[in-house]
């Protein structure tokens, strides 16, 4: 069975066939950088991280582009309101680009924590103004756009496929459009390609139509075309971006290029809180930094980034994820179980006897990998794929019970953890942070000094002193045991 993906465009689960294998182009709408990333972002970017990782596991050579929106995203998500970044920057009294830089860095730091592979290119909208102007000129030349009072609009009546992704018809959209914006437009449902800037608008550029700034949808058409070509294999984004954002991207790109824009449209569902979408504009969001620090009224403790990842993978990317502290708590214990098993396994390899790889274990591993692939091929069913990792944990724990298990067998299990849990799901790490390692070493060093002192006291027949050393350590919970190989210590 090969990889199948649910394509929003056709509303069917289809076999994935890239245009130019083994190359695969993936474009995912990135964040608008005017605040810290929250759990909703985690669901979106972990979902597409899994897609990219799995495509690479299957042997595809993936180009992964995820933009950074730093201009043009207006407060009502359409053609009205103020630039989201400009509003936030004015509040903090800094330049919008300083705000964008600050939250871009914060976003990357959070995504690194979540173990999301960085995109190959993270292009900024503000860095592609000439290309955006060029696309507007093409659309004007081809008759799909018109200038009106220093702004340029896309004429939806000229593009017959408008609405094909979201399944809406133009009449419905006309009725829903706001009257006050439509004064400049031919049809109420037309959308802005370029907006005229008022003199006090900070983010503005010269253009053939006067000073202005690009419409929000334009950047994704332009940057995907620049880095992936006219037709891309996969375009991902949040369900809420299907309309108007993705619908507008299709109209701009296909009208300009006379070519299919995207072959597979993938949309992830949202994170909800009490049944409502978690979002910045709704004010009910919990940032990732708050989750990692345990500082939010809705959570009872700090949770690790791996627990957040586990939580996201526990449900399908197309299902909504209802946030609760209990769900995060369960994800944390699941994640801890995996981490503990992998750390113990790696320690055990060093002490296990050399020998052959157990054929029965190899057969079991092959079964598990097949089950894993089946789940992932079925439109990336991460919850079943994750259950395979838990089966691997149970297998590992069984092997620990048998002292004869060879280092080779344990190594084979470790490799499977790294391949499926590490490379694909990103919930197994190659190196776990070892917070306690230096203090552990110091403790070991100091106790051994005490043991030496006790040994020399005993040698000098000073049993009172030797006893005093033992008792003092005992008070701190350290037990000494005299073995034929010398004295060893352990914690009570």
User: Residue numbers of the site for Zn ion (CB under 5 A)?
Assistant: 29, 220
> Which residue's CB is nearer to Zn ion, number 104 or number 450?
104
The phi, psi pair for 486, rounded to 5°, reads 120, -175
The CB-of-124 to Zn ion minimum distance in angstroms stands at 13
Annotate 420-439 with b (16+ C-beta within 10 A) or e (fewer): bbbebbbbbbeeeeeeeeee
CB 300 within 8 A of CB 325: yes
- Helical H segments across 378-459, by residue range: 382-400, 407-416, 437-459
The CB-of-237 to Zn ion minimum distance in angstroms stands at 6
The CB-of-68 to Zn ion minimum distance in angstroms stands at 11
> Which residue's CB is nearer to Zn ion, number 220 or number 262?
220
Q: CA 134, CA 222: separation in Å to the nearest integer? A: 9
In 3D space, the residue among 52, 27, 45 whose CA is nearest the CA of residue 107 turns out to be 45
The CB-of-403 to Zn ion minimum distance in angstroms stands at 56
The CB-of-374 to Zn ion minimum distance in angstroms stands at 32
The CB-of-254 to Zn ion minimum distance in angstroms stands at 15
CB 332 within 8 A of CB 303: yes
Cβ neighbors of 16 (< 8 A, separation 6 or more) are 2, 3, 4, 5, 264
In 3D space, the residue among 469, 490, 466, 361 whose CA is nearest the CA of residue 414 turns out to be 361
> Which residue's CB is nearer to Zn ion, number 244 or number 334?
244
> Which residue's CB is nearer to Zn ion, number 39 or number 220?
220
> Which residue's CB is nearer to Zn ion, number 263 or number 309?
263
Q: CA 180, CA 195: separation in Å to the nearest integer? A: 15
DSSP state of 22: T
The CB-of-320 to Zn ion minimum distance in angstroms stands at 21
What is the signed CA dihedral for 401, 418, 117, 115, rounded to 10 degrees?
Answer: 10
CB 345 within 8 A of CB 417: yes
Residue whose pair of structure tokens reads 């006219």 in the numeric block: 230
The two three-digit tokens of residue 23, written as one number: 């190359």
The CB-of-41 to Zn ion minimum distance in angstroms stands at 14
Alpha carbon separation from 111 to 17, 20, 125 (Å, rounded): 29, 29, 20
Q: Which H or E element spans position 118?
A: none
DSSP state of 354: P
> Which residue's CB is nearer to Zn ion, number 163 or number 305?
163
The phi, psi pair for 25, rounded to 5°, reads -100, 125
The phi, psi pair for 386, rounded to 5°, reads -70, -35
> Which residue's CB is nearer to Zn ion, number 267 or number 309?
267
> Which residue's CB is nearer to Zn ion, number 220 or number 424?
220
Residue whose pair of structure tokens reads 């290029």 in the numeric block: 257
Cβ neighbors of 247 (< 8 A, separation 6 or more) are 162, 163, 164, 165, 166, 168
The CB-of-271 to Zn ion minimum distance in angstroms stands at 19
Cβ neighbors of 239 (< 8 A, separation 6 or more) are 267, 268, 269, 270
The CB-of-48 to Zn ion minimum distance in angstroms stands at 12
> Which residue's CB is nearer to Zn ion, number 44 or number 284?
44
Residue whose pair of structure tokens reads 């004064």 in the numeric block: 183
The CB-of-245 to Zn ion minimum distance in angstroms stands at 5
The CB-of-27 to Zn ion minimum distance in angstroms stands at 8
> Which residue's CB is nearer to Zn ion, number 251 or number 345?
251
> Which residue's CB is nearer to Zn ion, number 220 or number 341?
220
> Which residue's CB is nearer to Zn ion, number 29 or number 33?
29
CB 271 within 8 A of CB 323: yes
């Amino acid at each position: 069975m090969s990889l199948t993906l649910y394509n929003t465009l056709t509303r069917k689960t289809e076999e994935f066939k890239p245009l130019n294998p083994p190359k695969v182009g993936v474009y995912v709408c990135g964040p608008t950088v005017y605040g810290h990333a929250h759990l909703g972002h985690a669901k979106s970017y972990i979902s597409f991280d899994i897609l990219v990782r799995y495509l690479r596991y299957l042997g595809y050579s993936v180009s992964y582009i995820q933009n950074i929106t730093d201009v043009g995203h207006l407060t009502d998500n359409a053609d009205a309101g103020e630039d989201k970044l400009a509003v936030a920057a004015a509040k903090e009294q800094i330049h919008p680009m300083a705000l964008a830089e600050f939250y871009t860095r914060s976003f990357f730091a959070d995504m690194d924590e979540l173990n999301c592979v960085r995109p190959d290119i993270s292009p900024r909208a503000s860095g592609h103004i000439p290309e955006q102007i060029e696309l507007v000129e093409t659309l004007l030349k081809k008759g799909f756009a018109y200038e009106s009072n220093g702004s340029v609009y896309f004429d939806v009546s000229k593009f017959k496929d408008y609405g094909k992704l979201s399944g809406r018809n133009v009449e419905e959209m006309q009725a829903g459009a706001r009257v006050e914006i439509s004064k400049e437009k031919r049809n109420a449902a037309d959308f802005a390609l370029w907006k005229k800037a008022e003199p006090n608008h900070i983010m503005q550029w010269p253009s053939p139509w006067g000073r202005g700034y690009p419409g929000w949808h334009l950047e994704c058409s332009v940057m995907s075309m620049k880095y992936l070509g006219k037709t891309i294999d996969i375009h991902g984004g949040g369900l809420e971006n299907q309309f108007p954002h993705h619908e507008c991207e299709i109209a701009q790109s296909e009208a300009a290029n006379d070519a299919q824009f995207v072959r597979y449209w993938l949309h992830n569902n949202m994170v909800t809180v009490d049944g409502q979408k978690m979002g910045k504009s709704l004010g009910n969001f919990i940032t990732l930094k708050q989750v990692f620090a345990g500082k939010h009224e809705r959570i009872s403790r700090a949770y690790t980034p791996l627990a957040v990842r586990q939580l996201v993978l526990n449900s399908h990317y197309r299902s909504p994820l209802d946030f609760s502290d209990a769900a995060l708590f369960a994800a944390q214990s699941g994640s801890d179980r995996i981490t503990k098993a992998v750390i113990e396994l790696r320690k055990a390899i060093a002490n296990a006897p050399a020998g052959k790889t157990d054929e029965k274990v190899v057969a079991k591993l092959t079964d598990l990998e097949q089950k894993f692939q089946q789940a992932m091929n079925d439109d990336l069913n991460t919850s079943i794929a994750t259950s395979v990792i838990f089966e691997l944990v149970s297998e590992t724990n069984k092997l620990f019970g048998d002292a004869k298990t060879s280092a080779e067998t344990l190594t084979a299990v470790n490799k499977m953890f790294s391949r499926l849990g590490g490379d694909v799901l990103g919930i197994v790490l190659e190196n776990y942070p070892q917070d306690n390692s230096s203090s552990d070493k110091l403790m070991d060093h100091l106790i051994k000094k005490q043991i030496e002192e006790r040994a020399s006291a005993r040698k000098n027949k000073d049993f009172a002193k030797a006893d005093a050393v033992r008792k003092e350590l005992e008070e701190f919970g350290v037990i000494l045991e005299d073995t034929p190989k010398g004295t060893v210590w352990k914690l009570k």
